[in-house]
């Protein structure tokens, strides 16, 4: 043990510690006891460990769309690779279509009770008065030799019972035959897939997603991730290769995950020529199927069929859309190592904004994300127009936003573009950096929204984008019903869903990047996390550890407060004291001055503003015993010389909201100039509730403001100034405007 002198100990113990009437919360304690411990699978640095493993599932699927009855049927062969160290006696398969059965919960109840004059659609959400068929019919499960395999269905999960364990390092091939009724998206809430019917021309757009039985994830942290699908929490899936054949009416156009492998059989020669030309068009999108051709298809329905063949490599899911209504445009987007085809599919109801804006938005997202995260690896990136949603899958997304009677407001257009950018961004989070959306939705929605908002700010600066002050109305809310970010999505309130999983993580990352870590260092660390965990399954601890590992910044205090609590930022500037130092050493006068200052302070003087002028103080000679055993002495006359004529300001700040944050202090001087001082969050280490800090200024201060640029989502800016402000600030106006 190192020897510490009594002088040093007495000095340390004289520092102000935690207030006696407040309970110590340990805001700077490590979060090691709140996250899983590192091991051979996940290292203490946040990187995958040397023994990291994950499973794999390859699929061969043949599916057929029955447009007359709205039924999708399929036969699939799964080859499942057990790369875990465990022998598996059974497998879990996800059957998400079962969530649409009547006995499962919907979310109509979350939007109000039965009341007079309520609309019929709302009543349908509450009661399902018009029932509709839904859920899988499993026709068979067979092994590679055609023998039946026993299974048990538990709602949205199916347990496949193996006749003998699947040993570590082995693989298993088996087949499933299935069918289900595609649901009408207008009939229930939170519909991520299904069909949209257009009565005017008696046609349908099919959005086909979580449509085939899919392997659940088995990993080192949870074992089987077989949490039931309840619509809010999305998906955890294994990577693999897909060979998919989709049979649809011959006049349908199919947009899909993967590379189209038989375009000569499903496209006309003219369409093939246009597509070849589009592959070289880097300046603008070109039409593959024109509006006129789509309208002709709408009128002339056929009973013939075509089979579209696609292959996708190293993806965790597969989705497609099909309709005779589709207009199709495409453009080449050159990236550093390869060229991606950005494409959009939309009905005529999307004109004129979709042909103008969709593929361009895809292009912008591909370019910004590839720079900020890592290069987009797949050959195509598709945006499909639909109503009311934005939903992502590898290489394809379904995006809402349409004009009304050919017109769209700037706000609606901005929302449409923002939705497309966001859903394209999900190719990175979680389609490649494959976190468990059902358990930690913020890891894909929050991280994706962070780069999505950066894209909007860079490419669409005229449209609104999330920034720290955007989260203030939520952070100012009722703490009794608020939940931390580190809550699984199905257990959060619908009213808080967007703020807690999208906005709050985004703002947290923005604060780290812009104000706490710094852009260059943070960007390097964020890319490090992305590249470490591409095509893998990260957990929150892997992100937290990587950001610290790659920045050399202790961020446990930030993680603890921002992710694990519902505290908010509210820093109150209690007081600013103004001093000047006398050029004389006068012990007698010093005593009188101190007494006078105490009396003035008790009387409320010199605490509201700077009108009373500075308090003059003296400094006495340092006694020898204060130096302990040091023999050298400071140049005290020089210290007095440096301070004489200067202004000394002592500020006192109270942590009202509970979250510790760095302090940004703006000094506004009487000559009209200003400057900024920044103190790190560590200023709160010895007292998490109130701190005092002293500054020397040459100029006289007129006003002091905390967080002048709204960097830290402070929920009450009216207590951030000295002298105190009497009238509503611009920030109050912002909060009032965004209250709802």
Please list the alpha-helical segments (H only) found in 391-538. Answer: 410-425, 442-459, 472-475, 497-498, 504-511, 519-532
Q: What is the pTM of this model?
A: 0.91
Give me the domain span that covers residue 146.
56-181+212-239
- Summarised one tens digit per residue, pLDDT across range 346-397 is 999 999 999 999 999 999 999 999 999 999 999 999 999 999 899 999 999 9
The answer as to whether 359 is a domain residue is no
For residues 691-697, average pLDDT = 96
Q: Which residues contact 118 (CB under 8 A, 6 or more apart)?
A: 112
Q: Looking at residue 184, what DSSP letter applies? A: B
Nearest to 732 by CA among 718, 713, 712, 711: 718
How does pLDDT run across 629-641, given as a tens digit for each residue?
999 999 999 998 9
Check the CA dihedral 557-561-563-568 and report its sign: negative
- Give the pLDDT confidence of 111-132 residue by residue, as tens digits: 678 888 888 888 888 888 888 9
Domain count, the chain: 2
Residues 237 and 444: their CA atoms lie apart, in Å, by 13
SS (H, E, C) 135-156: CEEEEEEEECCCCECEEEEECC
- Is 226 inside a domain boundary? yes
The 3-class SS string of 651-706 reads EEEEECCECCCCEEEEEEECCCCEEEEEECHHHHCCCCCEEEEEEEECCCEEEEEE
User: Domain end: 221, 239, 257, which one?
Assistant: 239
Q: Please count the other Cβ atoms lying within 10 Å of the Cβ belonging to residue 419.
A: 21
pLDDT tens across 493-512, in order? Answer: 667 888 999 999 999 999 99
pLDDT tens per residue, range 388-421? 899 999 999 999 999 998 899 999 999 999 999 9
* Distance separating alpha carbons of residues 59 and 80, to the nearest angstrom: 9
Give percent above pLDDT 70 in the chain.
90
- Split at pLDDT 50, 70, 90, the class of 687 is very high
Mean pLDDT across the chain, nearest whole number? Answer: 90
CA 93 to chain centre: 27
Mean pLDDT value of segment 548-576: 97
| HEC sequence for 395-411 | CEEEECCCCECCECCHH
Q: How far apart are the first and last CA of the chain?
A: 58
Instruction: Specify the higher pLDDT residue, 16 or 329.
Output: 329
Q: What is the torsion angle, in degrees rounded to the nearest 10, for the CA atoms of residue 82, residue 439, residue 43 and residue 681?
A: 170
* Predicted pLDDT at 108: 65
Q: Report yes or no: 187 and 132 within 8 Å, Cβ to Cβ.
A: yes
Evaluate the CA torsion angle 652, 657, 662, 667 in order and state its sign: negative
- What tokens appear for 386 in the block? 């639909």
pLDDT in tens, 201-255: 999 999 999 999 999 999 999 999 999 988 888 889 999 999 999 999 999 999 9
634 in any annotated domain: yes
Q: What is the pLDDT of residue 25?
A: 54
At residue 601, the 3 state secondary structure works out as helix
Residues in CB range of 416: below 8 A, 6 or more apart: 353, 357, 399, 400, 401, 402, 408
* Of 361, 461, 463, nearest in space to 417 by CA: 361
Whether 155 maps to a domain, the answer reads yes
Q: Look at residue 724 in the predicted model and tell me its pLDDT.
A: 87
Alpha-carbon gap, residue 49 to 40, rounded angstroms: 5
CA distance 683 to 688: 9
* Helix (H/G/I), strand (E/B), else coil: 454: helix
Backbone angles phi, psi at 244, to 5 degrees: -130, 130
Alpha-carbon span 412 to 409, nearest angstrom: 5
Q: Do β-strands 396-399 and 380-385 pair in parallel, antiparallel, or remain unpaired? A: parallel
Q: Is the pLDDT of residue 6 over 50?
A: no
Domain membership flag for residue 703: yes
Q: How do residues 61-116 score in pLDDT, each as one tens digit?
A: 999 999 999 999 999 999 999 999 999 999 999 999 999 998 886 666 666 788 88
CA angle 100, 101, 104 (to 5 degrees): 85
Q: Is residue 711 part of a domain?
A: yes
Q: Is residue 528 domain-resident?
A: no
Nearest to 576 by CA among 599, 602, 608, 545: 608
pLDDT at 156: 95
Domain at 158, CATH number: 2.60.40
Task: Give the pLDDT score at 494.
Answer: 67
- How far is it, in rounded angstroms, from Cα 513 to Cα 506? 11
Strand partners, 669: 701
Is residue 48 one of the residues assigned to a domain?
A: no
Closest Cα to residue 28, out of 482, 723, 655? 655
Q: Residues, the chain, total?
A: 740
Q: What is the pLDDT of residue 109?
A: 64
- φ, ψ of residue 532 in degrees (nearest 5): -65, -35
pLDDT band at residue 607 using 50, 70 and 90 as cut-offs: low
Q: Write down the pLDDT at residue 606.
A: 46
Q: Is the pLDDT of residue 605 over 70?
A: no
């Amino acid at each position: 043990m190192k020897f510490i002198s009594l002088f040093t100990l007495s000095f340390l113990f004289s520092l102000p510690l935690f207030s006696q009437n407040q309970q110590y919360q340990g805001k700077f304690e490590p979060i090691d006891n709140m996250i899983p411990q590192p091991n051979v699978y996940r290292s203490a640095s946040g990187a995958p460990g040397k023994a990291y493993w994950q499973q794999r599932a390859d699929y061969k699927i043949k599916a057929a769309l029955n447009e007359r009855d709205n039924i999708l049927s399929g036969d699939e062969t799964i080859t499942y690779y057990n790369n875990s160290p465990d022998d598996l006696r059974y497998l879990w398969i996800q059957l998400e279509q079962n969530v649409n059965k009547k006995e499962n919960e919907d979310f109509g109840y979350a939007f109000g009770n039965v009341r007079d004059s309520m609309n019929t659609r709302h009543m349908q959400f509450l009661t399902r008065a018009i029932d509709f068929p839904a859920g899988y019919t499993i026709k068979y499960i067979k092994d590679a030799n055609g023998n039946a395999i026993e299974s048990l269905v538990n709602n949205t999960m199916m347990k496949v019972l193996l006749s003998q364990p699947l040993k570590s390092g082995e693989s298993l091939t088996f087949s499933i035959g299935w069918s289900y009724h595609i649901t009408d998206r207008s009939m229930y809430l939170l519909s991520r897939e299904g069909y949209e019917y257009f009565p005017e021309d008696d046609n349908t757009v099919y959005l086909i997603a979580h449509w085939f039985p899919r392997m659940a994830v088995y990993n080192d942290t949870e074992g089987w991730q077989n949490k039931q699908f309840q619509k809010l929490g999305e998906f955890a899936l294994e990577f693999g290769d897909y060979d998919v054949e989709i049979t649809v009416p011959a006049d349908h156009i199919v947009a899909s995950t993967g590379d189209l492998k038989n375009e000569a059989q499903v496209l006309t020669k003219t369409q093939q020529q246009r597509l070849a030309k589009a592959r070289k068009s880097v300046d603008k999108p070109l039409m593959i199927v024109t509006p006129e051709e789509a309208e002709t298809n709408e009128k002339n329905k056929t009973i013939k069929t075509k089979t579209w063949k696609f292959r996708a490599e190293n993806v965790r899911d597969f989705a497609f859309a099909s309709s005779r209504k589709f207009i199709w445009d495409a453009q080449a987007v050159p990236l550093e190592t390869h060229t991606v085809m950005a494409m959009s599919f939309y009905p005529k109801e999307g004109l004129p904004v979709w042909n103008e804006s969709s593929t361009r938005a895809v292009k912008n997202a591909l370019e910004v994300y590839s720079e900020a995260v890592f290069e987009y690896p797949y050959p195509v990136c598709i945006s499909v127009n639909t109503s009311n949603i934005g939903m992502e899958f590898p290489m394809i997304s379904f995006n809402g936003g349409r004009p009304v009677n050919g017109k769209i407001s700037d706000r609606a257009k901005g929302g449409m573009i923002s939705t497309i950018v966001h859903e394209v961004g999900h190719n990175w989070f979680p389609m490649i950096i494959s976190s468990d959306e059902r358990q930690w939705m913020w890891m894909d929605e929050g991280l994706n929204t962070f780069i999505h908002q950066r894209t909007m700010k860079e490419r669409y600066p005229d449209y609104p984008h999330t920034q720290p002050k955007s989260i203030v109305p939520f952070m100012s809310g009722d703490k009794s019903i608020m939940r931390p970010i580190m809550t699984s999505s199905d257990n959060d309130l619908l009213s808080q869903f967007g703020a807690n999983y999208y906005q709050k993580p985004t703002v947290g990352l923005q604060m780290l990047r812009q104000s706490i870590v710094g852009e260059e260092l943070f960007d390097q660390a964020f890319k490090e996390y992305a590249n470490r965990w591409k095509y893998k399954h990260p957990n929150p601890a892997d992100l937290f550890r990587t950001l610290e590992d790659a920045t050399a910044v202790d961020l446990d205090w930030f993680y603890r407060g921002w992710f694990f609590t519902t505290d908010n930022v509210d820093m109150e500037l209690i007081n600013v004291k103004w001093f000047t130092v006398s050029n004389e050493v006068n012990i007698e006068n010093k005593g009188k001055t101190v007494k006078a200052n105490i009396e003035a302070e008790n009387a409320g003087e010199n605490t509201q503003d700077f009108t009373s002028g500075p308090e003059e103080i003296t400094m006495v000679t340092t006694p020898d015993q204060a130096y302990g055993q040091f023999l050298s002495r400071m140049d005290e006359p020089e210290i007095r010389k440096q301070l004489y004529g200067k202004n000394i300001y002592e500020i006192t700040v109270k942590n009202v909201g509970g979250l510790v944050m760095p302090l940004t202090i703006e000094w506004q001087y009487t000559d009209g100039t200003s400057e900024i001082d920044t103190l790190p969050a560590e200023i709160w280490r010895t007292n998490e509730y109130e701190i005092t800090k002293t500054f020397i200024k040459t100029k006289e201060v007129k006003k002091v403001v905390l967080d002048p640029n709204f960097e830290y989502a402070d929920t009450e800016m009216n207590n951030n100034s000295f002298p105190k402000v009497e009238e509503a600030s611009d920030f109050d106006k912002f909060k009032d405007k965004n209250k709802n």
